[in-house]
A and B are shown apart, each in its own frame.
Chain A
Amino acid sequence: MTEDELSLWRRCRKGDEAARKELVLMHLRPVKFLADQIHRKVNWVDREVLMNEGVIGLLKAMDRFDYNCGVEFSTYARNDIRGAILASPEVSNNLPRRPYENLKKIRQAQVDLAMRLERKPTLDEIAEKIELTVSQVTEALDAWHIAFADGFPDHEAGSDSDPEADERSKTHSALIEGKAGADEPWQNVNDAIVIEKALSRLSERESLIVTRYYWEDQTDSEIAKGLGLTLSNARRIRLGALKKLHGMLE
């Protein structure tokens, strides 16, 4: 944050309405962008209504923002702006269902194709599988990111709850359902954060070896070669790191 903006925030907190207005105008571009983006999906709603709601969302975010917290306000305000626009009755009562229904098909197709092809499928491959055009697939994905960029609201039963399902099926379901191998909602949602945090507490070499092994699917031998280590040393470091992680995550 620049010194000028910081000064505006300080004045705004003291009740200076001119500073508040200046801050609103400074951060109005994302509101216009989101209002236009959503307007393209619900073009029968007056664009000014969307702008109006977006500015209300921006003002709410400003009221809650702590300018000392080290987060950019533009990042902080995104969900409030989008949420305010989408929550307006003109929008929420009239959102088309088709892109959302298509998205469910896309997600399933991604799982099926990834399993069969053993790689990420392309847009063309997904479109062909679910008998939509590429532009319909893109439209569904875009609608999804515009409306629900921060999470998947539906929690359908996935194959990862089936004890008979094999390992690959579990992980690919997780790719779509966003809930791999967790026991309860609390752990489920925070797993990635907790694991990233624990990994950050390992030494640089340890976290590099762990992420290469578990996320980049390298073998101990490939890791050893890449880092100039002996095979036994790479394996020893990985297992030592696992032991440390075990202690942290317990």
Chain B
Amino acid sequence: MKQSELEQKLKSAKFYHLTEDELLAYRDRELDEVGLSRAEAHLKLCLVCERGLALLREELAALENIEITAEDVALVERVMQEARSRRPVDSRLPEASGVPVSDRLAAYLRQLTDSLQAYFLAMTPVRDAVPPGQEIRSQPSDDGLVSVTITLEDTSDLTIHLSSSERGFAGQRVRVSLGTFSGEATLRRASEFEVAAKITVPEAQRPATLTSIKIETA
């Protein structure tokens, strides 16, 4: 990246709209110094985000005056009763209910690791399998909730891109081990509907085969 490109990236950062989480953190004075600086720079420019912040402030004040009535309690009891009767009774992966997020993610990563290792055991060495710049393998979990895509970049580095439509996995750390390489990344929200993390294995540390690949929670 050229210095001018870096400077353009820095300048551009203040134009990105603030997410609701950032606006909430700004309202609650929970942003760190850098986040606060970007938020203030953006709010000086953007009426849309300024209005969003005003709404969040109004909400905070309104919540204090909301009362929980007997009707609310009855509604909650009814919905909970219905939800209990609809819960799944059998699943290969841990049910969401009662299982910590990290354990659910760990179960998905074990499943993906098993599938990838089985696939690469039956495959010729990566170096000969695909030309640089192409995807080597895209592996979804059985239910499609989590997937991993492995790409051999033009630079001959290997990138491992993990994504999921389960937004509850945001903030979880994942670790990829491959031969002598070990790298970690945090699953972050990539869009309104997806969390993702990317780990790059430099060419120098990339083994000839990927059979030893292991993806786990860190």
Contacts and interface: CB of A to CB of B under 8 A. Distances in A.
Contacts, number: 200
Contact of A211 (B1, B37, B83, B104): B37
B137 interface: no
A58 B77 CA distance: 13
Nearest to A187: B9
Contact of B33 (A28, A55, A121, A207): A207
B38 A110 contact: no
A224 to B, nearest CB: 18
Nearest to B23: A149
Interface string B1-43: 1010011111111111101110010000000111101100100
Interface residues of A, number: 86
A42 interface: no
B127 interface: no
The size class of the interface chain B forms with chain A is 35 or more
A249 B97 CA distance: 39
Interface of A: 12-15, 17, 20-21, 24-25, 28-30, 32-33, 48, 51-52, 55-56, 59-61, 63-66, 68-69, 71, 75-76, 78-79, 106-107, 110, 114, 120-123, 126, 138, 141-142, 144-146, 148-153, 171-172, 174-175, 178, 180-182, 185-186, 189-193, 195-196, 199-200, 204, 207-208, 210-211, 214-216, 242, 245-246, 249-250
Chain A to chain B: the 7 pairs with minimum beta-carbon distance, closest first: A180-B12, A64-B168, A215-B41, A66-B101, A174-B15, A149-B20, A211-B37
